[in-house]
Structure 1
C-alpha cells in the first residue's frame, strides 16, 4: 500500500463520497504478481498476455466414431448401392502409429483419433453396417476378425464431402495466437484453455486476503443463546461473504468485545494473513467506540505514514468512516459503521473497489444504470447527503424496499440495487429517473 494519500482536511471536514473513495483508490495498490499452478490461480487476474504454443487441435482428428475414407470411394453410395470398402485396421485416440488409407480402403476410427494419411473424411458408423453386412447400424459393433481390426469389409450407405466430420488442426486456436489477454479473470473456461495449450502455471496477481472483524460486547455468534441486550453478529458474516463475492480470500474473525487493547491486539495478530483489514462498528462518537480509541494513534510507533483517519461523510447511511494503514507493512484498513445496512452499503461503495484494485482489475465498481422510480409516494432525502436506498430492479424500473433505517436487514436481503439520491435533492417523485447501483 502506498502511503502517499493526502489527508489534509481538518477533523470537522465533511467528506463527500467521491473524496473518500478517491483517497482510498489513490492509496491502495495492486498486489505484486506471482506464479501459480492453474487451480491455485482460479479467480486471479492475469498480468501478461498468454500466447498459444501449439495449435488446437494439434492435428486433424475425427469428431465421430466411424470410418476414415477417401471421398471418391464413397461417392454415390446409397442403401441400394453401398460402397464396399476393405477395413485395414483401427485408429484410436492417442494412437502413435497411423495407417495409410489407399483406394478402396478404410480405417475404423474413434472420436478424437488422428485422421490417417490418405483419408479425406469420416463417415459416422450409423451410415454403415458396422462391418457385419446387416445394413445401417446405430453404434459400433464387433470388430473384424483380426486383433488389430484389419480384414473384412464394411458397407457404406451414404457419400461424404471432403473434411466431413473432421476437426481441422488449428480450428480452435493456432500456434502464435493470443489465447488470453492481461487483465483476464481466470474462471473455469480460462483454466481449461490454459491446460489445453500446455500451461501448467500462470503469472497472476493473487486474490487479496481480507480479514473481517466486528466489534461490540453485545454481539453473540449464531447458534448461541441470546442474553439480555444481546444481538447476533451478522455484520462479520455479511462482509466476509461480500469480500469473497468481490474475489477475495476472506477470513472472518469472531466479534471483539468493547475493549481497546483487546481489539488492537487482535488486529495486530491478524496482520500476518491480511492484504486488507475491515472492521465494523465503533467508529462514531459514542463512549464505547473502541475502534477509534484503539487505532487513532496507531501510527505513532510505526513507519511514517501509517495511521487511521476517522471521518464524517456526507452520505446516508454510513456517515462515520475510517481509513488508513496499520503495521510496518502499511496494511490498508477500512473501518465501517456498525449498523448492518450502513456497513453493507459502505462495503459496496468503498471496500469492494479496494479489493478489486488489489486484484489489479481496471473496472473496480459495481455497474450502474438509470431507472424509473416506481413507488407509492415520493422519496425524501436529507439535504447535503447522498442517500443510498435499497431497491429491486427489473426492466428499467426500480422499486424501494423497506425504509431508510440502517438496521433493516430483512429489507436488505430482498434488495438487488441501491437507489442513489444526490446531495442536492431532497425529494424524488414516482416516475422520476434515478441512478441505480446494481448489486446482483
Structure 2
C-alpha cells in the first residue's frame, strides 16, 4: 500500500477573518457515528433517537406516605374527639403482590411506595392516627403488626382524607406513548434516571469525542517540578484539557513536548489511535523553533514501504487571522482516519481564546450537541477601551453583570496574562473596524462558563 504524506500549506498569503477560519473548520467536521451504549456509559452523550415511554411511570397507583389505605366514606367524619375506628386487615409493603381488599370499616397498613390495595380510595398518614391497635400515636408502624400479614387490631383515624390524597396515580409522571426524551438531549444524571425508571438499559447516542491535547516547547516544565533558567510551567495542556472536558469531550493530556521535530511527529502519530481531534499549542508562528509546521510536513515519513504501511497523510494549513490574540492558527485533517488537528498559538491567553472560538465548536459539532457556539449578548462597556488594533477583531477578557447588563474589562490585552483570564467570565469583542470603545458604548460579549 502506498503512503500519502501529510501536506502542509501556508495560508499566510492572505489574512483570514475569524468567521472564515471557523467556517472552514466546521465544514470539515461531521458528527460522530451513533452507537448503542449502556446507560452509565452514555453519560454526557447526545441522544440520536426520540425515546418514548413503553411502561407508565409509576407503573401502578402507590402510596406517597406511610399510613393506612382506607375508603373515603369511612373517615370523612373523623375528628380528634370522634375518631373513625377501623379494623386493620393487613400490611402492604413496597413490592407486595398479594394485596388485601379493603372493605367498609376496614384499613390496610401501607408503606411509602407500596401499591394501593383494591377497595381503598385514599391514604391516611400514620400521623393522623393513633398508630394502630388502639395505642397512642406511633412512628414505627411495623411494631404494631400482630402477624406476618399484619392483620388484627384496629386503628383510630382523627382526620378525614379526600379521595386520592397521598396517592401517586399510575402514569402520573409519564404515560405510555409519551415522549420521554427527544433526540438531541444531552444525557446527565436526571435524564439517565428517567431512562432507567422507564426500563431502558441501553440508548443510542453519539459518543463523546476523544480529544488529545499536547503543548510544544522545550521551555515547558510540568507543574510541581522546579524551574530551571528560562523555563516556565506548562499551563496550556492543563487549560485546554479542562476546556475540552467542559465542552463535553473525553480529553487526554499528553503534556509538553520538546521542540524536536521527530519527537513531536512521533507523539502525534502515536496519539492518533485514540483521537477524534488533536489539539496542539505552540509552534505555529514563524520563529526558528516553531516545529509544528515542520513536524506535520513529515508526519508520514516513517511509514514509507511494506505490507504494514499506513496512509497517514492529510492536509494541514497554517493561516494568519485578523484577530487578537491568536493571529497564527493551523487546521487540517491527518492520519488514516483524517483526524481533525487544530494547531493553536502558544501564549496561554491566545491558546484559550482560540479554543473557545474554534475548538469548542468543533467538539460540539462532533457530539451533535446544541448549541454549537457560546452565547453572545449585547452589553454596556463600563470602562473605556483606549486602543484596539485596526483591521483585527480583538477579544478582551471581561466580567459580565447580568443584573445591570454591564461588562468590565479585566486585565490588559497581553496574551500572556493568565491571572486576568482566571478572573474573567466573558470575552469582550471589539470589531475589526473599531480602534477604541467609549465608556457606555454597547459591545458584543461572548459568555464563558
5 Å-filtered alignment, 1:347-362, equals 347-362=355-370
Cα RMSD (Å): 1.7
Structure 1 residue 212: Cα displacement = 0.2
Partner of 1:321: 329
Alpha-carbon distance, 1:299 to partner: 7.4
Partners of 2:173 and 2:284 in 1: how far apart? 55
Residue among 394, 399, 423 paired with 1:392: 399
Question: Deviation at 1:379?
Answer: 3.2
In the alignment, the residues of structure 2 paired with residue 378 and residue 221 of structure 1 have an alpha-carbon distance, to the nearest angstrom, of 36
Per the TM alignment, residue 132 of structure 1 is displaced from its structure 2 partner at its CA by 3.5
Question: In the TM superposition, what whole-angstrom CA distance separates every residue of 1:297-330 from its partner, at most 9, and x where no partner exists?
Answer: 6579886982110000000000000000110110
Write the mapping of 1:157-236 to structure 2, written as runs, cut at 5 A. Answer: 157-236=158-237
Structure 2 CA distance, aligned partners of 1:39 and 1:118?
41
Higher relative contact order (CA 8 A, sep 6+): 2
TM-score, normalization by structure 2: 0.94
| Superposition misfits of 4+ residues, deviation over 6 angstroms | 299-302
Counterpart of 2:434 in 1: which secondary structure?
Answer: coil
2:293 alignment partner, SS class: helix
1:160-197 CA distances to partner (integer Å, 9 max, x unpaired)? 11101100000000011110000000000000000000
Q: Secondary structure at the match of 2:144?
A: coil
Matched, 1:363 2:409: no
1:22-421 to 2 correspondence within 5 Å? Answer: 22-138=23-139, 140=141, 142-296=143-297, 298=299, 306-375=314-383, 377-394=384-401, 395=403, 396-421=405-430
In 1, the alpha carbon distance for the partners of 2:417 and 2:34 equals 41
User: Shift of residue 137 of structure 1?
Assistant: 4.1
Tell me if structure 2 keeps the 8 A contact 1:127–1:137: no
- Structure 1 equivalent of residue 433 of structure 2: 424
Q: 1: distance between equivalents of 2:12 and 2:130?
A: 88
Listed one character per residue, the Cα deviations across residues 148-171 of structure 1 (whole Å, up to 9, x for unaligned) are: 210111111111111011000000
Structure 2 unaligned residues grouped into runs of 5+: 1-7, 305-309
TM-score (norm 1): 0.96
Deviations 1:12-58 (A, max 9, x none): 11000000000000000000011111011000000000011100010
> How far does residue 380 in structure 1 lie from its aligned partner after superposition?
1.4
Aligned to 2:5: none
Matches of 1:286 and 1:8, distance apart in 2: 17
Counterpart of 1:3 in structure 2 is none
Secondary structure of the structure 1 residue equivalent to 2:408: strand
Q: Is the 8 A contact 1:55 1:175 kept in 2?
A: yes
In 2, are the aligned partners of 1:298 and 1:308 still within 8 Å (CA)? Answer: no
For the Cα contact (< 8 Å) 2:426–2:445, is it kept in 1?
A: yes
Question: How many residues get paired?
Answer: 433
Quote the offset at 1:131 in angstroms.
1.1
